[in-house]
Structures are given as C-alpha cells and as structure tokens.
C-alpha cells in the first residue's frame, strides 16, 4: 500500500477527515473491496495496539457457524454442564478449606508464620508490598537500546542477560559499557539499579537511580518511579511514599497516574 | 504442554477431565478473581469470566485447535482479561447509551468471543515477529507519546522520519497478518 493511501486510512479511522472527504472515501470503499478490507485491518491493528478496547465485531462467517453448531449440539451442551459442575465442586471445596485452618493450634500457625517470615524476609519478598511491586513492575517497560547503533551490541547483550536473569553477566556488561562509552545513555542506570536491588543491595540500587535522576535525560523522572518500586520491594513504605509524592509534583512525570494509584494503596 | 506440577492442563481440558479442570480452578481462579475485583467487577463477574474462558477454550479445542506459545496459565489469564475487558466495554457503552446493542444469543456471544480471541492471538503473534525497535516505536506511538519525544528517543532526524518509520512498521505488521492462512478464516 502506498503512503498516501495509508494517510487517508488513518485519517478516516481516527475521524480526522472532513465530512466531505469521508463521504468520498466511503464511496471509494464501496467500489473497492481491497480498500475496504485494508481499512478493516488497520482498524483492528489500532484496536490491538491501544489495548483499550477488545474488538466487538459481528461475525457472520462459515467459521462462526461451525462454532455455533457445536455449541448447540448435545456434546456442546454436555460440555457446558460439566464445566458448571466442576465450578460448583470447586466452590464447595474452597469454602470448606477455609474454616479448617482455624482449628489448627496456635503454636502451629505461629511456627509456620515464623518460618514464612524468615524465608521471605531473606528473599525480600512475601509480603503484601511484594504484590504491589509485582503489580506495578513491568519488565516489558524497561528501556530498549536496540535503536542506538554505537554500543548497541554491548547494551542489547547486557539487557538480554538481564531479561534472562543472568544478573552477574548483565551487570558486568553494563559496567563495561559505562566505562568505554564517551556518551552514555542514562537509562542504563535503570538496569544497574534493578540489578543491585535484585541482589539485595538497596543503597547501591538507589545510588544508580540517583545517577539517572540527576542526568539531563528527558526521561529522568523514570528514576523516581523505579526508586519508589525498589523501596516497596524492600518494604520501606515511608520512603516509597516520599518518592511518590515527589513524582506527583509534576503531571508530566513518568507513570504519574500509576504513582497516584500506588500511593493510595500504600 | 506440561506445567511445573506435571499436569497437562490443555489435554485435561481437551478430554474434559473433571479432576484436571478442578485443578485449573484451584491454581488459576484466585488470580483471575483478583484481577476482576481490581477492575470494577465482583465475585459473580469473576466466576462468569472464568467459566466462560474455560468453556470457550474447550469449544476451540473441539472445533479447531489451540497453539499456546506461553504457558497455559498465562494464556488463560489473557483470555480472561480479554473477556472481562469486552464485558466492561459493552457495559460502559450501555451506560453511555452510545448505541443500541442488539441482543445477541448466548451462542453468538460465545462464538464471537472465540473468534475475537483467535484474532487477538494472531495479531499478537505477528506483533512479536516485528523487530524490537518497531515494537517499541508502535507501543510509544499508541501510548500517544508526542512526536518530538519519539524523535529524540529513537534519534530520528525529523518528525517526518518518525512518521515514515511508524508507517513502515504498521505496514509490516499488516502484511504479516494478511499472509497468515488463518486471517481469512477470522475476518468479519
């Protein structure tokens, strides 16, 4: 497809077309099935990428009929009944299990609680804050360095190692990058900070985020977000709240909306 | 596909093994419930979403097939999220009274949700085949990151270059989708 066609399709989909142009465009679609299909596909792609709407389309295809036929068949009806039966069985047992724990002796519960605190305390996980951390920490949002050509190979190697949870390799690759590069990308400090946090070194982690925060990067507010998450990970709610409050001073800061939500939950 | 605890959930669903389906409930329902409750739903909604997800997946296993690239748990969670998102959207539209929603039969609800989910799988698969750079760019673009920031971040020469690049990435995605044999089957 040509670029000018694409521009028109996008304008039409987003409603940025004058009524006159839109009418013209629709009459073209009526006579050109290819164009109509292209518009449908690009609409779907936009839906998929914005993630806000799950498409609700009327299908009237052979495949739909095939599915409907199955649903109406005896087998399909039996399947539905069976799933409902399992659901009821699950609900019955999950309700049964809950009260039994109350009958256990107190020392038994306390000893388990102590063990849990011991184990998870060492791992810096296992409390309600960890849930918040996992709810808000998205590895997919970490910066990607693939577009930068210079030291790209080193950076992508380092971030790949990070993704594969090979923290030592990742850290040494990032350190090498930081020592050899004339102009460093401050977003690297997000990774080095997270690595130190994973290794249980809170102070060093915060120091790395500080480097990003004080850099000239347009994205330096990301430092605040990762600092807050790290404090949460280490169960330091007070510090986390302070950082989030700072983040909320400027609505253009990274993760402004999420920060508000997170602060409320804390 | 066998999970950590050695149960093949997908096979269990395919054969309708009640024990395994109950195990799916035990391992996954709390997470889905948590998600629905956090997103404007209640216990009843969570139960319906989960039940519909299992039902729709079972139907797909009978009528066509399912190829799961991630874990069964992750996939089931995605399906549940999509079902709940669709439900929320239609509720909101209903409240805003934007359109008159023709009442659909229950079968149609299920079969359309199944097709929509299969389309979602297809689009996601192709999206993952794009270069990391394209993916990141499209993500930013759809998050409405302003052009001037995109230009800076990706070190493009101008906004026009950024536009060209977005156009090419989208076109590549569209071509990948069109080339896939399943696309024709899943069109509206």
The residues spanned by each domain of chain B are 1-120, 130-188
**Nearest Cα residue in chain B from A9:** B167
Question: Does the pLDDT value for residue B16 go beyond 70?
Answer: yes
- A78, burial (CB in 10 Å: exposed 0-12, middle 13-18, buried 19+): exposed
Cα(B135)–Cα(B128) distance, integer angstroms: 8
Query: Which of the four pLDDT bands, split at 50, 70 and 90, describes residue B80?
Result: very high
Q: CB pairs below 8 Å between A and B: how many?
A: 143
pLDDT score recorded for residue A147? 46
Chain B residues near residue A67 by CB distance under 8 angstroms: 59, 63, 107, 110-111, 114-115
**Nearest Cα residue in chain A from B81:** A54
Print the SS3 string covering chain A.
CCHHHHHHHHHHHHCCCCHHHHHHHHHHHHHCHHHHHHHHHHHHHHHHHHCCCCCCCCCCCHHHHHHHHHHHCHHHHHHHHHHHHHHHHHHHHHHHHHHHHHHCCHHHHHHHHHHHHHHHHHHCCCCHHHHHHHHHCCHHHCCCCCCCCCCHHHHHHHHHHHHCCCHHHHHHHHHHHHHHCCCCCCCHHHHHHHHHHHCCCHHHHHHHHHHHHCCCCCCCCHHHHHHHHHHHHCCCHHHHHHHHHHHCCCCCCCCHHHHHHHHHHC
pLDDT score recorded for residue A128? 61
Mean pLDDT of all residues belonging to chain B? 86
B58-70 pLDDT, tens digit each: 999 999 888 887 8
Q: Which residues of B166-179 are buried (b: 16+ CB within 10 A; e: fewer)?
A: beebbbbbbebbee
Question: What percentage of chain B has pLDDT greater than the value 70?
Answer: 89
Contact A85 B18 (CB under 8 A): yes
Of B123, B136, B178, the CB nearest to A48: B123
Question: Does the pLDDT value for residue B2 go beyond 60?
Answer: no
Residue ranges in chain A whose pLDDT is less than 50:
98-103, 121-127, 147-150
- For residue A167, how many other CB atoms are within 10 A of its CB? 16
Lowest mean pLDDT among A128-132, B8-12, B36-40: A128-132
pLDDT score recorded for residue A184? 76
Minimum distance, in Å, between the CA of residue A60 and any CA atom of chain B: 6
Of A55, A57, A218, the CB nearest to B152: A218
Do A26 and B162 meet the contact criterion of CB atoms below 8 Å apart?
no
Lowest mean pLDDT among A116-125, B73-82, B123-132, B167-176: A116-125
pLDDT score recorded for residue A119? 54
């Amino acid at each position: 497809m040509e670029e000018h066609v694409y521009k028109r399709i996008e304008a039409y989909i987003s409603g940025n077309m004058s009524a006159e142009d839109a009418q013209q465009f629709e009459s073209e679609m009526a006579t050109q099935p290819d164009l109509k299909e292209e518009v449908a596909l690009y609409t779907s792609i936009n839906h998929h990428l914005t993630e806000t709407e799950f498409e609700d389309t009327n299908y009237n295809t052979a495949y739909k009929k095939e599915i409907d036929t199955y649903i109406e068949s005896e087998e399909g009806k039996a399947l539905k009944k069976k799933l409902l039966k399992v659901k009821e069985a699950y609900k019955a047992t999950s309700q049964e299990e809950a009260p039994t724990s109350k009958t256990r002796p107190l020392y038994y519960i306390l000893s388990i609680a102590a063990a849990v605190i011991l184990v998870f305390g060492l791992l810096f996980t296992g409390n309600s804050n960890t849930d918040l951390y996992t709810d808000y920490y998205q590895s997919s949002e970490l910066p990607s360095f693939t577009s930068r050509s210079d030291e790209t190979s080193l950076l992508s190697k380092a971030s790949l190692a990070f993704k594969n949870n090979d923290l030592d390799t990742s850290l040494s690759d990032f350190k090498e990058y930081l020592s050899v590069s004339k102009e460093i990308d401050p977003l690297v400090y997000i990774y080095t900070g997270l690595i130190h946090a994973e290794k249980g070194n809170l102070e060093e982690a915060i120091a790395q985020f500080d480097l990003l925060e004080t850099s000239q990067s347009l994205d330096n507010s990301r430092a605040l977000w990762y600092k807050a998450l790290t404090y949460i990970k280490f169960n330091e709610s007070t510090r986390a709240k302070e950082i989030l409050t700072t983040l909320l001073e400027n609505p253009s800061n990274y993760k402004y909306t999420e920060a508000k939500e997170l602060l409320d939950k804390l | 596909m066998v999970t950590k605890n050695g149960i093949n959930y997908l096979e269990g669903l395919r054969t309708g093994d009640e024990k395994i389906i109950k195990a799916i409930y035990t391992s996954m329902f709390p997470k889905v419930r948590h998600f629905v409750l956090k997103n404007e739903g209640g216990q009843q909604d969570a139960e319906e979403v989960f039940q519909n997800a299992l039902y729709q997946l079972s139907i797909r296993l009978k009528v066509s097939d399912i190829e799961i690239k991630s874990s069964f748990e992750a996939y089931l969670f995605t399906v549940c999220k999509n079902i709940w998102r669709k439900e929320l959207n239609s509720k909101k539209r209903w409240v805003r009274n934007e359109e008159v929603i023709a009442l659909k039969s229950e079968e149609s609800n299920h079969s359309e949700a199944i097709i929509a989910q299969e389309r979602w799988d297809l689009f996601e698969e192709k999206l993952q085949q794009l270069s990391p750079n394209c993916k990141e760019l499209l993500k930013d673009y759809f998050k409405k990151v302003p052009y001037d920031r995109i230009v800076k971040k990706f070190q493009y020469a101008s906004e026009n270059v950024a536009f060209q690049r977005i156009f090419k990435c989208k076109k590549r995605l569209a071509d990948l989708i069109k080339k896939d044999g399943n696309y024709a089957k899943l069109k509206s």
